[in-house]
A = this chain, B = another copy of it.
Amino acid sequence: MIITLTTDFGLTDPFVGIMKGVILSVAPSARIVDITHNIPSYDISEAAFLLEHTRRYFPPQTVHVVVVDPGVGSARRPIAGAVNGQFFVAPDNGILSWVLASAEARLAVSVHHITNTALFNPIVSNTFHGRDIFAPVAAHLAQGLSLKGVGPQILDYEKHALPRLRHLKDGVFVATVLRVDKFGNLITNIERRNLDGPFSIRLPGAEVQRIVSNYSEAEPGEAFAIEGSTGYIELSLNQGSAAERFHLGRGAEIEVETSGVNH
């Protein structure tokens, strides 16, 4: 059984290694996969988007543990959910918003409040629930525990609004940068179908008017749009960082002029 880990713990402290020790103590044959531990500290939105994009490449029954948890030790609930045939274990702070949005229409969601303290570490700290609650609960789920075994189902779990394209005026909409990757590509919430006709994406000092099908098709230094591996349109430079060149980061808004009304 696969357990994935997504946190803002970094790789310098022993936090992640400790979580793995706890998991393997409960589920000795679990396969543990690190998604990333470099979520910016406390950045729930960043983790939320990344998780939805990532979970699609894991098999059914995978248990995803997500710990970006500024409210650790407060009244915020720990939750475990079944979504689309996989499990998610996380604080109830909206971090599952993208995952839930992709699934709810299909009624494939069941979220439970983790209350069964018998699953927890013997001593539960107020500062490291990744170790004391989320890791052992995930390991028990990987061992076959049902969601009912972690606690009662709830319906009032937290969900955040996702950034949507916004109509500005006739023929112009506003898109949002969802995240910036290591190569400086700006991943937007624009989809391919939103750019069906002629278009112009307004960046500081540049207008992007074409979609290339691969990076090498563009001239060195040229800014271009490309359908990225998430399925969303990315704004990129050939072997350069669009984020640096245009000084844009996550949350930045970008105007897009189109001739059509396909958004």
Contacts and interface: CB of A to CB of B under 8 A. Distances in A.
Nearest to A184: B41
A214 B74 contact: yes
B21 A36 contact: no
A62 to B, nearest CB: 8
Interface string A1-40: 0101010011111111110111011001001011111100
Q: How many copies does the complex hold?
A: 3
Nearest to A69: B215
A42 to B, nearest CB: 6
Interface string A120-132: 0000011110011
A127 B53 contact: no
A209 to B, nearest CB: 19
A229 B128 contact: yes
Contact of A17 (B13, B28, B35, B183): B35
A20 B125 CA distance: 32
Nearest to A228: B127
B128 A41 contact: no
